[in-house]
Amino acid sequence: MFWATPEREDLLGGITIAMWLLYSLMSYAFLCVVSVFKVRNAWAVFLAGAFYGWFEEGIVVQTMYGSPDTPFPMSISFTGLAWHAPIDVFVGWYLVRKALAENNRSKIIGLASAIGLFYGGWAVWWWNQPPPSMKALLDAGEKVVLLVRFSIYAFATTAILGFAHWLYNRMMPFVFKPSKVELWFFGVVTLLYYAFVTVPAAPKALWILPPLMAVTFWALNKNRRVEAQLDAISAFDAQVKPAHYLFLLLIPLVATTIYSIGLATDARLRTNLFVYYIFSALGVLLWIASIVMLFRRDRSRASALSERCPDETCC
């Protein structure tokens, strides 16, 4: 959805498989965090999403420390907190699964329509910075071709998303608990990559990433101390009605409608700037709010325990 155009040459061929494998590896790290810190509630999910975003943008690649398109310090939030945490994780992974598990038709339709509205609005900005093949079609006035290609792209990728959620739910409930060997191995490899690849490529990583990750893990550890239920990986074990997966096709349907209106009116809207500024600020605020809420949750538990057992000798 981020690229929102099939005209990108690097989305074809082997690069797609390589990107899928890379994102799978980063998703594995994310699932490890969810499991270890018992991530279930919305605040903890957002912080796990922040880890995922910063792991990708701050370790695997180094866009977190500034790029020609996103100067520092805005790059700290965009795209780690502005896109990956709220859109990839909170909406795409958590809310969609939650709506499906509740078997609430209205919620699924509303959520899918909202995603489609955002998707279509985001997609039109690419006309202001088109890849060469898209620019050629725009210059030639081939709007029908653009619409057909976008429609196929949106419907195909959403169909894969729906299949992934169906497969995920068929496997649930399943307790994912990585072993200590897995965690140590993955942790050591990550630290070596960070030391020998990330830091030499972006020296700012040495003083920006550690404190942000430390605060995030500190808050997640507060969550681990109080969470008594299953984590969000295996929390939604309800049998989803097969027909409800079809409602996810409202995502490309609404997005294609917005895209077609934009083509018909030649709307060269820079919706990317709205997402860039609003979501970057919102991401930072949600990160801070999540830390505060998990800290307060831990304090509430401590207060409840002290009231129940005021004298240490009774515990």
Q: DSSP string spanning 146-214? A: HHHHHHHHHHHHHHHHHHHHHHHHHH-S------HHHHHHHHHHHHHHIIIIIHHH-TTHHHHHHHHHH
* Helix, strand, coil distribution of the chain in percent, nearest 5: 75, 0, 25
Taking residues 109-115, report their average pLDDT: 98
Question: CA-CA distance, 25 to 31, in Å (whole number)?
Answer: 10
Question: CA-CA distance, 225 to 305, in Å (whole number)?
Answer: 13
At 82, is the pLDDT very low, low, confident or very high (cuts 50, 70, 90)? very high
305 is a domain residue: no
Question: What's the first-to-final CA gap in the chain, in angstroms?
Answer: 53
Question: CA-CA distance, 202 to 140, in Å (whole number)?
Answer: 41
User: 118-141: per-residue pLDDT in tens?
Assistant: 999 999 999 998 988 899 999 999
Closest CA to 201 of 84, 57, 71: 57
Name the CA radius of gyration of the chain, rounded. Answer: 21
User: 193-203: per-residue pLDDT in tens?
Assistant: 999 999 999 99
Asked whether residue 278 carries a pLDDT value surpassing 80, the answer given is yes
- Residue type at 124 in one-letter notation: V
- CA 65 centroid distance within chain: 19
User: Six-digit token pair at 264?
Assistant: 């018909």
24 is a domain residue: no
Taking residues 145-168, report their average pLDDT: 93
140 is a domain residue: yes
Peptide bond into 73 cis (omega under 30): yes
Instruction: Fill in the DSSP letter of residue 231.
Output: P
**Structural domain for 75, as ranges:** 9-16+31-299
Question: CA-CA distance, 109 to 246, in Å (whole number)?
Answer: 10
Question: Contact 226/297 with Cβ under 8 angstroms?
Answer: yes
45 is a domain residue: yes
State the total domains in the chain.
1
Question: Contact 73/97 with Cβ under 8 angstroms?
Answer: no
At 270, is the pLDDT very low, low, confident or very high (cuts 50, 70, 90)? very high
User: Six-digit token pair at 206?
Assistant: 């040495």
At 74, is the pLDDT very low, low, confident or very high (cuts 50, 70, 90)? very high
Please tell me the predicted confidence (pLDDT) of residue 6: 84
Taking residues 141-159, report their average pLDDT: 94
Reported pTM: 0.92
Taking residues 48-64, report their average pLDDT: 97
Asked whether residue 314 carries a pLDDT value surpassing 60, the answer given is no
311 is a domain residue: no
